[in-house]
Chains A and B, each alone.
Chain A
């Protein structure tokens, strides 16, 4: 396999070649990073090589999403559960019989002694009818799987209704329709709402909208924030993405939230979502509550990128304003 650089492009300095890749991936220690930054300031070839590495990583980020759907995950869980049940059964009495049968392998003996075989088989049948059935007969048929509201397993939420006392009624399809009652901060209800949001697609975006709304007051919870971030990044519905970013306001100090905002700002195809994302970043800078936002290079890079390239004028202006905020903070 050739390891080549495109024609007419000067190669990076050999001693920095590997470091540049790790620099692009932000996986260098402080000293190495400082060395690379120092060198980049003086070496045009390595700067160009770094740009190529970053471009490669950006292109590779296009790789089609292979995120599993909730239904697929549910079917995998069911299959695993069955496999484990089966294996557990294999270790019981019937499993012992099966293993013994496999060990004895009577086929060859039977074919050589047909008369004796018949007698032995009749005797074995009689004995097994008398003895074995006494031990095996009480074995119950597998009980139907019952999902109670306290332990919904493979659900699909079909409706959310707010009741007079602020309780929620969450309708679910598991293996049969069920209803769960409780407040939004009830662990079970919260898990159901998070799960509804995680689906990210499907016909009923209203349910995901409701879930965002109901989860908003609970965003201090890490699982809730994670679900909101997922929705902001990947939900198929623009309104859900917008609402999710709105719901994350005030949580920008969380690195996961900041990454989500940057991702939305850089990659969301909808200008409204990008406006919301840049607005949230500006609010974070305005609040001055998190110094890391000012020194985070990714924030600066994203804002510079949007200032230059975003097709939406408002996003460009807001990005420019945010860059000014960062510059003045650094100068101060």
Chain B
């Protein structure tokens, strides 16, 4: 499921107003208002963390760190952008820090072995993936697992920023402009990161054939 992004989804004005009131109440110290804000977005945040880390424990830590940071810094929010954008800036920063720390730990970077056998003939990895809907379910499940495993391994080769951009684009469905706004960078930079990420993924998946 894609993240909602105001301006793209046409969030109703009433909801936005309601949110503004909630944010103001939370800034004034209302815990129920803060909890309501958390409940509005935390499922998407946790999903993002799960996608990026693939580990429940790490995702739980990211979730906690991100929302705790939001709690501590809510008084700094000045309504210069939507609360959603501000929240996701915090969340993506926390996630990027985590990914950068993790990429410096070699124990988390060990490439995992693959089960695919090389037949000595060079064909495109992508062309060898059968149409999944034609598979019987058990085969489809196995195939899905194998491909998923390969993709997870390939993702480890991306830099933290490339991975974040790819995640927000491919799995969360955000537009480049929106990603740039979240990450505090230009659309062109996002485009470059996305392009590099895709090239790397193609290359890595090819090498694992």
Contacts and interface: CB of A to CB of B under 8 A. Distances in A.
A56 B198 contact: yes
Interface string B122-157: 111111010111110100100111011001100001
A1 B124 contact: no
Contacts of B204: 1
A14 to B, nearest CB: 13
Contacts of A55: 124, 126-127, 129
B133 A269 contact: yes
B133 A67 contact: no
A83 B68 contact: yes
Interface residues of B, number: 61
A73 B42 contact: yes
B186 interface: no
Name A's interface SS.
helix
Interface string B190-203: 01001100111111
Contact of A267 (B60, B132, B152, B194): B132
Contacts of B42: 73, 76-77
B206 A4 contact: yes
Interface in B87-112: none
B21 interface: no
Given A56-B202, A67-B50, A80-B38, A6 B137 contact: no
Contact of B171 (A1, A63, A266, A309): A63
30 contacts: A1-B200, A3-B203, A4-B206, A6-B123, A27-B169, A55-B124, A57-B170, A59-B126, A59-B151, A59-B205, A62-B143, A63-B152, A66-B47, A68-B43, A68-B50, A68-B56, A72-B60, A73-B46, A76-B42, A79-B64, A83-B64, A84-B34, A266-B133, A267-B132, A269-B133, A269-B137, A269-B140, A309-B131, A309-B134, A311-B134
Given A72-B56, A76-B42, A80-B64, 5 more contacts: A9-B124, A60-B151, A63-B171, A66-B54, A76-B64
